[in-house]
Amino acid sequence: MHQEKQKKSVRDTRKRLDAASILILIGIIVLLYAKVFYSYEKTYGKNKTRTFGATYMTMNNNFYPVLNNEIRSAVEKKGDRLMTLDPALDQKKQTEQIYYLIQQKVDAIFINPVDWKGIRGALRAAKKAEIPVIVVDTPVYDEDLVSCTVVSDNYNAGVLCAKDLMKRRKSARILLLEHKKAKSAQDRIRGFLDTIHGRQEYQVVARADTEGQTERTLPKVNQVIKNGKIFDVVMALNDPTAIGALAALDQKGIWEQVLVYGIDGSPDGKGLIKENMMTATSAQSPKQIGKEAICSAYRLLDRKKVSKKIIIPVQIITYKNINRFDVNNWQ
């Protein structure tokens, strides 16, 4: 009798243990499912707040705040977040900023490179972290490391300036103002030079690298004048550079003798064209670049196809057609 009770007790204990084991197993499965579901929702859920990072070569150029505001507007409309950083034309600092954004586990990064080749290491790190990179305004050398590039037709911007020059003058002595580390600037100057190539009457007499900054242009142009270089045309990589050149020419009292070309279509540039001080500018649209960039970013995050390269058309603005444009705002 005693043995039967013991056996029954053992059987009951085993049943309880089996029941407990089943409950524990069910609990583990539920927890695992919850964890997987939470992870899925965190990564792909509609209510997930996405965080974007952006680093532009400099914010000391109104073009980039305007571009960035287009991105920010679309991001905030969706209830998401944008972190904007300024390396102030320092590639080392920009690289550090990209590593910081990677550490913050942002969902995507918008990059306007200080140095189109020098940014390679940071791009590799972002790719390794599986963070999509959208390049804006100026390309990078290693395009295979980025998801999408959105730029103006920079080459044609230079072509348009050269064609306008050849309509106005049968010959010219040209000062080129460049930014050699920026591929967009290289493409603009190349478009200009290719268009006047083989025409001996159009000669480049001097070149200076201004990094696209007004305050760096003025002393560079003054130095060219001091060196005795005589020029009657300035081809500048962007409007801030063209404005810096005009300031230098104005100081010397010779701005009326020189044709000054820029690229941007900035409010300041258009204002000077309307005053008949600046000759022309090839107009870009930072607003359109920003819209295309953020649209591509969201498509990438939604696992949809995007174009590897998006090129935004440009147009020439002169005194003759300035009234067709909003002088106070960007395109």
Specify if 77 maps to a domain. Answer: yes
pLDDT attached to residue 34:
38
* Digit-coded pLDDT (tens) for 142-187: 999 999 999 999 999 999 999 999 999 999 999 999 999 999 999 9
Specify if 177 maps to a domain. Answer: yes
The answer to whether residues 102 and 171 belong to one domain is no
pLDDT attached to residue 12:
52
The answer to whether residues 85 and 170 belong to one domain is no
Beta bridge partners of 172: 202
* Digit-coded pLDDT (tens) for 185-243: 999 999 999 999 999 999 999 999 999 999 999 999 999 999 999 999 999 999 999 99
Name which of 25-34, 266-275, 298-307 the model is least confident about: 25-34
CATH number at residue 124: 3.40.50.2300
The answer to whether residues 148 and 291 belong to one domain is yes
The answer to whether residues 129 and 251 belong to one domain is no
Q: Which amino acid is at 23?
A: L
Can you tell me which residue has the tokens 């959208």? 134
Q: pLDDT band at residue 309, thresholds of 50, 70 and 90? A: very high
Q: pLDDT band at residue 48, thresholds of 50, 70 and 90? A: confident
Percent of residues, the chain, with pLDDT higher than 90: 85
Nearest in space to 312 (alpha carbons), one of 137, 158, 182: 137
Using CA atoms, how far residue 188 sits from 69, 161, 236, 277, 330, in Å, is: 25, 9, 9, 22, 19
CA dihedral 24, 25, 27, 28 (to 10 degrees): 120
Q: Which domain holds residue 170?
A: 154-284+318-324
pLDDT attached to residue 11:
53
Burial label for 120, CB within 10 Å (0-12, 13-18, 19+), is middle
How far apart (Å, rounded) are the C-alpha atoms in residues 196 and 32?
A: 68
Contact at 8 Å (CB) between 236 and 260?
A: yes
Contact at 8 Å (CB) between 229 and 204?
A: no
How far apart (Å, rounded) are the C-alpha atoms in residues 263 and 122?
A: 29
The first and second tokens of residue 233, run together, are 């045309």
pLDDT attached to residue 305:
96
pLDDT attached to residue 24:
46
pLDDT attached to residue 93:
98
Q: pLDDT band at residue 43, thresholds of 50, 70 and 90? A: very low
Specify if 203 maps to a domain. Answer: yes
Neighbours of 134 (CB within 10 A): 25
SS3 sequence of 188-200: HHHHHHHHHCCCC
Strand order in the sheet with 309-312: 81-85, 51-55, 108-111, 133-136, 148-152, 309-312
Q: pLDDT band at residue 28, thresholds of 50, 70 and 90? A: very low
How far apart (Å, rounded) are the C-alpha atoms in residues 35 and 23?
A: 18
How many domains are there within the chain?
2
Residue 41, pLDDT above cutoff 80? no
Specify if 5 maps to a domain. Answer: no
Mean pLDDT computed over 79-108: 98
The answer to whether residues 128 and 237 belong to one domain is no
Specify if 272 maps to a domain. Answer: yes
The answer to whether residues 172 and 269 belong to one domain is yes
The answer to whether residues 135 and 186 belong to one domain is no
* Digit-coded pLDDT (tens) for 264-300: 999 999 999 999 999 999 999 999 999 999 999 999 9
Specify if 9 maps to a domain. Answer: no
The answer to whether residues 136 and 106 belong to one domain is yes
The answer to whether residues 167 and 279 belong to one domain is yes
pLDDT attached to residue 40:
40
The answer to whether residues 168 and 118 belong to one domain is no
pLDDT attached to residue 4:
52
Residue 8, pLDDT above cutoff 90? no
Specify if 241 maps to a domain. Answer: yes
The answer to whether residues 303 and 275 belong to one domain is no
**Could you tell me what percentage of the chain is helix, strand and coil, using 3-state DSSP and rounding each to the nearest 5?**
50, 20, 30
**How far, in whole angstroms, is CA 42 from its chain's centroid?**
28
Specify if 227 maps to a domain. Answer: yes
The answer to whether residues 266 and 226 belong to one domain is yes
How far apart (Å, rounded) are the C-alpha atoms in residues 236 and 173?
A: 14
